[in-house]
Chain A
């Protein structure tokens, strides 16, 4: 079956620190890969996506590259801010008969201290 494994944390960093959140996947077929972020009391916001191998998604200083050979989609940011404190979810989707359901990792809570 399809699954996503990601670092769960929680992780606490100081402002301006480097962030890496590891994400690996298992999938039959060719998934699209996503990072979503959830701020306290809110729904999920799309952070970035990649739909094929070697695609690099980037947004708000965050980057992730779709690595088919290692089945990975690690999230990185060079310098985190307090406002990046949130829960980060890695996810995949594969089209199946016109439907696309997201399969999520367990999420990683990040706290950034000033």
Chain B
């Protein structure tokens, strides 16, 4: 079974631009979560989507948004990029069914110059 895939793997943007990252979950998994990983803050939860609805949201500004499509694929968007948005963005999928395991993709490395 194919794992979680994320595209692109690497991105370089400049301040003020916007960016869209994509995540395809494991087949049969209907929940997708996004996490930001930085050296200073570690791993932080951004949001979770299930059935095309945002189910939970972390403590990030409104510049960070996401959506989920009917095939469970998800995208996250960051508008008006700041230098501090440079991070590894990880996507994780699960069935869901309660007490599920989240399986992670390889991440998208975003660099903001």
Q: Do A and B bind each other?
A: yes
Identify the A interface with B (CB < 8 A). Answer: 32, 34, 36, 42-46, 49, 51, 89, 91, 93, 95-107
Q: How far is B98's CA from A100's CA once the two chains are assembled, in angstroms?
A: 8
Known: A98-B50, A101-B56, A104-B42. 8 other contacts (CB 8 A): A43-B105, A46-B103, A99-B55, A100-B94, A101-B45, A102-B43, A102-B92, A104-B43
Q: How far is B94's CA from A49's CA once the two chains are assembled, in angstroms?
A: 14
Question: CB-CB < 8 A to B6: which residues of A?
Answer: 43
Interface flags for B81-110 (1: CB within 8 Å of A; 0: not) read 000000000101010101111111111000
Chain B contributes a number of interface residues (CB within 8 A of A) equal to 27
> Is there contact, CB below 8 Å, between B104 and A99?
no
Question: CB-CB < 8 A to B58: which residues of A?
Answer: 101
- 23 inter-chain pairs at a CB distance below 8 angstroms, sorted by A residue, are A43-B6, A43-B105, A44-B104, A46-B101, A46-B103, A51-B99, A93-B102, A95-B98, A97-B55, A98-B50, A98-B96, A99-B48, A99-B50, A99-B55, A99-B56, A100-B48, A100-B96, A100-B102, A103-B45, A104-B43, A105-B42, A106-B42, A107-B43
Chain B contact surface mostly: strand
| Closest chain A residue, CB of each to CB of B91 | A43
Identify the B interface with A (CB < 8 A). Answer: 4, 6, 31, 33, 35, 42-43, 45, 48, 50, 55-56, 58, 90, 92, 94, 96, 98-107
